[in-house]
A and B are shown apart, each in its own frame.
Chain A
Amino acid sequence: MSRNAIDTSVSDHSVSDHSVSGSSVSDTTLTTDAAAYCLQLGDDALIYAQRLGDWISRAPQIEEDMALANVGLDLLGQARELLTRAGQLDGTGRSEDELAYLRDERQFHNVHLVEQERSDFGFEMARMLWFAAYQCELYAALANSSDETIAGVAGKAVKEVDYHRDHASQWVLRLGDGTSTSYVRMKEGLERVAPYVAELFEDDAVSVAVSEAGVGTLPSSLWDSAFGHVSRVVAQATLTLPTDSTWRSRGGRQGIHSRPMGFLLAEMQHIARSHPGATW
């Protein structure tokens, strides 16, 4: 029900309000799709940033505490820009904070991969390797977006996620080609991440529309290069990628989430919701 309410308000405003700033996106339907696209990308970055923050004081080394927090900080910065852009494009004028803190679970459009709970470090490095490999290809393509803000955010972010991808690659190499224990934990990490990977590369109505308009790119077009990088790292690390899993996650882009998502949002949003409008 709440999702319907949001969709209605989006289209109402888009029709009546063309005051989209700094935009090369003008068509109303396209503007709505572009806003939804920014939400998808922004939510992926925001939710993974929140997950990575979970590692602070819990990483295997203090240096890794800093590393994971820094990766999360970069992602949070990307999310802020993308959510701000979504609020401009959809005509509601919602701020980054309203979008981050005042939406309910069904209104988030991130993939399931990023919302899964923190667990073993091997799992985290497998997740980061896949996610950063995906984001590298994504932002490289979006640097040519016809939307100036998206192109600007992507042009900067591509350098950040390249560093994340390298960080994860270094760990997968060390752990996979390390001791028998680190090998097993890295192998199990890759296996546990595998069912969530395909969802990142699935096209939907939003990505098809924005890619035709030159605003976005088709997730499926990113697969070959991302898979190429991950498989090279995994092979070099003496590991093998798991074969097709029996199930795969789906529904995140439509707002259908897995169990950990509600808990994540409760923690992330509770201050803003308990003290509405508070500033400091």
Chain B
Amino acid sequence: MDLRAAIASIPDPEVPVITIEDLGILREVLVDEPARTVMVLITPTYSGCPAMDAIRQHIEHVARRAGYAATVETRLIPAWTTDWMSASGRDKLREFGIAPPDQRSEVAAHPVGVTLTVRRVTCPLCGSTDTEEISRFGSTACKALRRCNQCREPFDEFKSF
């Protein structure tokens, strides 16, 4: 496996079923063969996400094992969005029992409402759309917690961002 593929296949530490490439945070891998160095550009998800440090270390480790010295830099512009998550990443999330994020771009822009929010999210376990929110914040910065009224199972939702 070449170095780029090895780096692209690094799993997200919090949601290990998807890779950092599926997640859309891996922006560029610039390999300098003669110098045996690699520069990796990543775009962080949430500002305070503690997984970023773990991801940086993992990239350095994978590069070192392949005989390269890695520099990991963060790129803030443009800001990461869940639109960058790959289709296969979404499928893997669903199979793992996490509802993938909406494609934001398909959601009509609306002014911030002052009514109680009700969103339609499909249960990743049974496919029912009859689900309700338990908590707007979940076990990690990127997830919310919901419950299916059909199969009665609770599940995580990857928030659209």
Contacts and interface: CB of A to CB of B under 8 A. Distances in A.
Contacts of B159: 163
Contacts of B145: 63
B72 to A, nearest CB: 16
Contacts of A71: 137
A159 B161 contact: yes
A105 interface: no
Contacts of B139: 66
B105 interface: no
Contacts of A165: 112
Interface in B4-62: 44, 46-50
Given A63-B145, A155-B79, A73 B48 contact: yes
Nearest to B134: A63
B48 A75 contact: yes
Contact of B79 (A73, A156, A232, A233): A156
B114 A74 contact: no
B85 to A, nearest CB: 15
Looking at chain B's contact residues, is the secondary structure mostly helix, strand, loop, or mixed? Answer: loop
B54 to A, nearest CB: 15
B83 to A, nearest CB: 12
Looking at chain A's contact residues, is the secondary structure mostly helix, strand, loop, or mixed? Answer: helix
B25 to A, nearest CB: 12
Nearest to A66: B137
Range of interface residues on A (Cβ < 8 Å): 35 or more
B77 A148 contact: yes
Given A78-B48, A153-B47, A174-B116, A67 B136 contact: yes
B3 interface: no
A156 B141 contact: no
Contacts of A102: none
A77 B80 CA distance: 15
B97 interface: no
A18 interface: no
5 contacts: A69-B137, A73-B48, A75-B48, A78-B47, A152-B79
| List of 10 A-B pairs having minimum Cβ-Cβ separation, nearest first | A77-B48, A77-B47, A152-B76, A63-B135, A73-B48, A156-B79, A67-B137, A70-B137, A155-B79, A236-B114
Interface of A: 63, 66-67, 69-71, 73-78, 80-81, 148-149, 151-153, 155-157, 159-160, 162-163, 165-167, 169-170, 173-174, 229, 232-233, 236
